[in-house]
Amino acid sequence: MSNATSIPPTITTTASALAGATAAGAAAEVAGAEAGAATRPAVPAGALGRPGGRSRGSTGSTGSTGSTRTTMVRALNTALRDALREDPDVHVLGEDVGTLGGVFRVTDGLAAEFGAHRCLDTPLAEAGILGIAVGMAMYGLRPVVEMQFDAFAYPAFEQLASHVAKMRNRTAGRVPLPITIRVPYGGGIGGVEHHSDSSEAYYVHTPGLHVVTPATVADCYGLLRAAIASDDPVVFLEPKRLYWSSEEFTPSAVPPIGRAVTRRHGNAATLITYGPSLPVCLQAADAAAAEGWDLAVVDLRSLVPFDDETVCAAVRATGRAVVVHEAAGFGGVGAEIAARVTERCFHHLAAPVLRVTGFDIPYPPPLLEHHYLPSVDRILDTVARLQWEQ
C-alpha cells in the first residue's frame, strides 16, 4: 500500500515528504478560502463507494522558488532568541540545551549569545528541572523548560500536576507560574520506543495548564512567543516530525493562545486535528477534492483553552465531523472533542462524530508505526462512513 511511501520510517525521508505536505497545505488553505462553506453539501459523487486507484502519496508541491524558507526548528529557535533578548527574566533550561543546542537544535547558539546561565545545561533529572523552574518562577523569573522527548517528561509529572498546574489556584492568584514547558512529541520519525509518545491527554486533563500544539512554522514562532509571555503555565507540544518542514516565514504578530484556525474550507465534512496530524489531514483533503469531496480542515493549535466557537462553526457548516490525532483514542482528546461537538451541534449533525486515532496500544516499533498513525487512507475511509446514504 502507499502508506509505506507516504510515511516512511526514517527521519530524513519523512522530513522531506512532510515538508512537501506542509507547503501543499499552505497552498490548499489559500485555495480553500475561496470555496466558501455555507451550504449543506449534496452527497459527493462516488461517496458511497471507495474508488480505487487514487494516488495518496506526496501531493507534489514543494512551494519553493528559491526564496528564504524557514524550518520549524529555526522558527522555534528565533522565538526563544527574541524572547531572551527582550526579557531578562526569560531563562531556558533543560538537558543538552546549552553547548549542544538541544538534540533537535532548537536552542542552537542561545548559550553562546546569552550566556550559559540564560540557557542552562541541567543535570539529567526532569522532576528536578521542572521543580527548579517552579522555584525560579516563584521568584519572578520566566523559565522555558525543554523536556527532551515526550516520554522523558513523565518523571516531572508530579511537579506538573501538583505544583505547576495548581500554584495559582492554591495561592488565590498570588503566585502565578509563567513557565513554558516545551515537549517534542509524537511519532513518525522512526524513533525507538519512548521517543514517539503523544502525551497531550495527560496534560489537557490537568486543570491549570494551557496546552498548545502548533502545526506550522509561523504558529511555532508566534505561539511560542505567546506561551512565554503568558502568565499561566503552558505545555508547548512541538510536533517533532514536522521539525524539518519549512515555510516562507517572517516573525510576525503573536496570535492569542486559544484560537483554532480553519486551514481549508469545505462543505462535505470537517476534519478537526492538530499538531503532527495537520499535514496528513490536508493531504487527505487534497485527495478527497480530486474525487469531488470538499473537506474542511480545522487546526486546533490550542487544546486548552479549547476554541468551541471555531470548531462548532466549522462543524455546523458541514454537518459531519472527523477528529484526527495520533494519540490513542480511548479517553483521548478526540473523545472530548466528539462529546463537545455532539453536545453543541447535535441538531446540525447528519452522522455521529467519528475519530481517526492511534490504536489503544503502546506506540509501536519503527517498522510498524505507519499502521498506527492516522493516514490518508484511514481518514478517507472514515469520512466515507459518515452516513452519506441517508
Partner 1 sequence: MTILDASAAPGQTGPPSSHGPRRDPAPLLPDPEPVRVLGTDAAGEVDPGLLRELYRRLVLGRRFNQQATTLARQGSLAVYPASTGQEACQIAAAMVLRETDWLFPSYRDTLAVTARGVPPMDVLALMRGHTHCGYDPRLARTAPLSTPLATQACHAVGLAHAARLRAAADPAADREVVALALVGDGGTSEGDFHEALTFAGVLRAPVVFLVQNNGYAISVPLSRQTAAPTLAHKAVGYGVTGRLVDGNDAPAVHAVLSEAVEHARAGHGPVLVEAITYRLDAHTSADDATRYRAQGEVDAWRAHDPVTRLERHLRETGQLDDTGVATVTRAAEEFAARMRAQVAQAAQVPAPDPRTLFAHVYAEPTSQLREQAAELAARLEADLDGDLDVRPDSGPNARPDVHPDARGDLAAAEPAAGPGTRSDLS
Which chain residues interact with partner 1 by CB under 8 A?
Answer: 88, 91, 117, 122-123, 125, 127-128, 130-141, 155, 158-159, 162-163, 166-176, 207-208, 210, 230-232, 258, 304-306, 308-309, 342-348
195 is catalytic: yes
Q: Which helix (H) or strand (E) element contains residue 234? A: strand 234-239
Coil/strand/helix, residue 126? helix
Considering the complex, state which of residue 122 and residue 283 has its C-beta at the smaller distance from partner 1.
Answer: 122
Q: How far is the CB of 146 from partner 1 (least distance, A)?
A: 16
Which of residues 86 and 158 has its CB atom nearest to partner 1 in the complex?
158
Tell which residue, 285, 344, 348, 283, has the closest CA to residue 320: 348
- Judged by phi (left if over 0) then psi (alpha if -120 to 50, else beta), residue 205 lies in alpha
Q: Which is nearer to partner 1, 13 or 162 (CB)?
A: 162
Residue 329 CB, shortest distance to partner 1, in Å, is 22
Q: Confirm if 160 and 130 have CB atoms less than 8 A apart.
A: yes
Which set of grid coordinates corresponds to residue 139? 521568584
Work out how close the CB of 75 gets to partner 1 at its nearest, in angstroms, rounded to a whole number.
26
51 vs 207 by CB, closer to partner 1: 207
Give just the sign of the alpha carbon dihedral 374, 64, 73, 337.
negative
Number of other residues whose CB lies within 10 A of the CB of residue 359: 13
Q: Tell me the residue type at 277.
A: S
Q: In the numeric block, which cell numbers belong to residue 42?
A: 449534496
Reported as half-sphere exposure (CB side, CA atoms, 13 A), residue 262 has a value of 26
Q: How far is CA 126 from CA 154, 155, 179, 180, in A?
A: 8, 6, 14, 14
Nearest to 330 by CA among 367, 309, 359: 359
> Phi first, then psi: what are they for 13, rounded to 5°?
-70, -35
In the complex with partner 1, which residue's Cβ is closer, 87 or 381? 87
Task: Please report how close the Cβ of residue 177 comes to partner 1 at its closest, in angstroms.
Answer: 10
Smallest distance, Å, CB 9 to partner 1?
Answer: 34
**C-alpha 378: how far from its chain's center?**
19
To the nearest whole angstrom, how small is the minimum distance from the Cβ of residue 168 to partner 1?
5
Which residue among the candidates 91, 163, 195, 325 is catalytic per the annotation?
195
Q: Which is nearer to partner 1, 99 or 162 (CB)?
A: 162
Tell me the catalytic residues: 195
